[in-house]
Amino acid sequence: MQRMHTFKLGLLAAGLGLLLTASCKKSDSDTAPYAKLQFSFSNEAGGKPIELGPMNYVNAAGNAYSVDLLKYYVSNITLVKQDGSEVHFPSYNLIDAAVPSSTNFAIDSVPTGTYRSLKFYVGVDSARNHTGLQEGALDPVHGMIWNWNTGYIFFKHEGSFKDSTGATMPLAFHYGTDLAYVGVEIPLNDLQMEAAGRKLFIRFDLNQLYATPIKVDFNFDNNRSSGNAGDVFWQYTIRGNFPSAFSLIKSE
Amino acid sequence: MRMKLILSGVMLVVVIAACKHEQTNPGPKPYQLDIPSGLPEMPIPADNPLTEEGVALGRRLFYDPILSGNQTMSCASCHKQEFAFTDGGKALSTGIDGLEGTRNTMPVFNLGYQRNFFWDGGAADLESQSIAPIQNPVEMHAALPDVIARLNAHAEYPGLFEKAFGTKVITTPMLMKAIAQFERTIVSGNSKWDKYLRGETTLSAAEERGRIVFETEATGDCVHCHTLGSTFSDFEFRNNGVDSISADAGRALITLRGTDSGKFKTPSLRNIALTAPYMHDGRFKTLEECVDHYNTGFHSAKNLDPALRTKVKGRMSAQDKSDLIAFLHALTDEDLIHDPRYSKPAE
């Protein structure tokens, strides 16, 4: 009987130890083959880095334009392995041309291996696009939420442009709503994700966004949000162009 | 056996204690929501439970012009308690820059029963709704980062937010939660009609005849959309034929479906005698005009609601109309407009 008790006590003690460990410890990632993948986004227009203010850029339609404000969401990053399997990272990052630190972010635990491509979305998925009660990049304080319809502005470009008469006119593009959520895929050329980690340098080219495959002429589209019937064609154009606006500069 | 029980108990305590952080603050106290009998239980979101501290904070914010761009307007500037939290007779309300909105100010009561907000349902939850008027250029026209910075720099708000949410660094979600908490506590369910249903009073002969008009398909048929009972609305979106072609796309702005053009949310008829003028743009000044609209005035909009499409014009007599209006007056809740829990808090 005494022995039985001792045995039970031993079991209990073991259980206690296990519970203590399990209840406090976070998932065990230090032993698994994971590495850190860093991202660095470079906002450009036709090879020139975006500088806020001056009318430095010319789009494919020949419109000279400036950028006073440029912000967009990069979300739900997925990495595609060589065998076609995918690793998903639910994530929301707001890139703001006025905040240099916002163009750099990282995923801490990417399985090591060989990757064929990088996928992400511009915008916020419908599961997270219908309440403003969210923290971090989705906190409404970032000025990326609509007032008329609960949901996020996925992409904002405000500035000015020279119209066909040479006059300087305001330019304001606010892109969003569920139908605007758009996927982008960038080839990674069999990127080796090593234990030491990697860094991807990604270009976002505004001139591509306004050119490929469909040209946007600011004389016709210069004040577009996503709430009116008149915005729908512009919205579809931008959605169709987004995939071509991102490309890999290099990996380190 | 006893040994085992004691050990299990000890184990549990150890496990809990092992993960527990130092807790000196007991946390906010749960708020007991007082729902008058006859109204259903109110669904409260799990991520924003009502607390004494949260509700008190939300009330203070609701009345504080600190939330507007130039700090001259509060939520209460357009949502006045004496008018069941509407704007006292204005068809359209004016914002801090003297600009008018496009739709009539909606009342603030029984909001916890609604699925979405605004005339077109554009706000998907009450928390999200709260920051739209704060930012809207034709309303309070503030930049959220400024508002949050002002609150954080305030002498009292950081402490009040800490009591309600456990941290004194104020963020937008905390602001949204506090305002929504206060709004959920504004409950209206003590009209003469409610008291009649509870057996505490009787309806006058005119009110009783009006109730019958309200419910009878061949005459009023108001009940079709203004569901009789707790909410007096089905909260669906309907085209009620105020225009043959609506200048305001209404629900279609949100759904982008052409069939939703000119549809607006069925408003509650509770306290309707206090919330003039009427319709999404405040075009009707009196209840008489509203009843006339449904009796003879409605237009054959393409997507006119089926309940109205089948109605004969002129089906209500003059007597029916005045009885119906007598009944609508019985939906006024004097407690709502005098309840000190909803009024501007003492400075």
Tell me the residue length of chain A.
Answer: 252
Q: Which residue has the higher pLDDT, B16 or A126?
A: A126
Give the pLDDT of residue A120.
Answer: 98
B149 in A contact zone (CB under 8 Å):
no
Give the pLDDT of residue B66.
Answer: 98
Q: What is the mean pLDDT of chain A?
A: 89
DSSP-assigned beta bridge partners for residue A117? A80, A187
B132 in A contact zone (CB under 8 Å):
yes
Q: What is the dihedral of CA A65, A71, A75, A77, to 10 degrees?
A: 60
Give the pLDDT of residue A32.
Answer: 52
Compute φ and ψ for B272, nearest 5 degrees.
-65, -30
Could you tell me where the DSSP H helices lie in chain B? 2-19, 52-62, 126-135, 144-153, 157-165, 172-185, 192-197, 205-215, 252-255, 287-292, 306-309, 318-329, 334-338
Q: Give the mean model confidence (pLDDT) for residues B312-318.
A: 96
Contact B14 A9 (CB under 8 A): no
| A-B Cβ pairs (cutoff 8 Å, strict) | 83
* Helices B172-185 and B144-153: angle between axes, nearest 10 degrees: 80
Residues whose CB is less than 8 angstroms from the CB of residue B286 and which lie 6 or more positions away in sequence, other chains included: B276, B277
The pLDDT-based confidence of B24 (bands split at 50, 70, 90) is low
B124 in A contact zone (CB under 8 Å):
yes
All residues of chain A having their beta carbon less than 8 Å from the beta carbon of residue B123 are 149-150
- Closest-CA distance, B66 to chain A, in angstroms, reads 16
Give the DSSP H or E segment for A223.
Answer: strand A223-224
| Residue to test with chain B: of A18, A24, A149, most B Cβ within 10 A | A149
Give the pLDDT of residue B25.
Answer: 63
Q: Which residue has the higher pLDDT, A235 or A230?
A: A235
Q: Does residue A10 surpass a pLDDT of 50?
A: no
Closest-CA residue of chain A to B140: A147
Closest residue to B131, CB basis, from A140, A151, A227:
A140
Give the pLDDT of residue B165.
Answer: 97
Contact B128 A16 (CB under 8 A): no
Contact B176 A130 (CB under 8 A): no
Q: What is the pLDDT of residues B44-78, one digit of tens each?
A: 999 999 999 999 999 999 999 999 999 999 999 99
The pLDDT-based confidence of A208 (bands split at 50, 70, 90) is very high
Give the pLDDT of residue B347.
Answer: 79
| Residue to test with chain B: of A16, A21, A147, most B Cβ within 10 A | A147
| Residue to test with chain B: of A128, A141, A153, most B Cβ within 10 A | A141
Q: Does residue B42 surpass a pLDDT of 70?
A: yes
DSSP-assigned beta bridge partners for residue B56? none
Contact A143 B144 (CB under 8 A): yes
Give the pLDDT of residue B197.
Answer: 94
Q: What is the pLDDT of residues A18-43, one digit of tens each?
A: 444 444 444 444 445 999 999 999 99
Task: Quote the percentage of chain B above a pLDDT of 90.
Answer: 88
The pLDDT-based confidence of B18 (bands split at 50, 70, 90) is very low
All residues of chain A having their beta carbon less than 8 Å from the beta carbon of residue B119 are none
Give the pLDDT of residue A7.
Answer: 46
Q: Does residue A228 surpass a pLDDT of 60?
A: yes
Cα–Cα nearest to B110, from B271, B325, B258? B271
B255 in A contact zone (CB under 8 Å):
no
SS3 A47: coil
- Distance CA(B3)–CA(B176), nearest Å, equals 51
| Residue to test with chain A: of B128, B179, B184, most A Cβ within 10 A | B128
All residues of chain B having their beta carbon less than 8 Å from the beta carbon of residue A133 are 47-48, 125, 127-128, 173, 176-177
Burial B132-157 (b: 16+ CB within 10 A, else e): bbbbbebbbbbebeebbeebeeeeeb
B46 in A contact zone (CB under 8 Å):
no
How large is the ipTM?
Answer: 0.81
- Distance CA(A70)–CA(B155), nearest Å, equals 35
Give the pLDDT of residue B23.
Answer: 53
Compute φ and ψ for A26, nearest 5 degrees.
-80, 170
- Distance CA(A9)–CA(A3), nearest Å, equals 10
Cα–Cα nearest to B262, from B270, B272, B254, B251? B251
DSSP-assigned beta bridge partners for residue B239? B304
Q: Give the mean model confidence (pLDDT) for residues B171-197.
A: 97
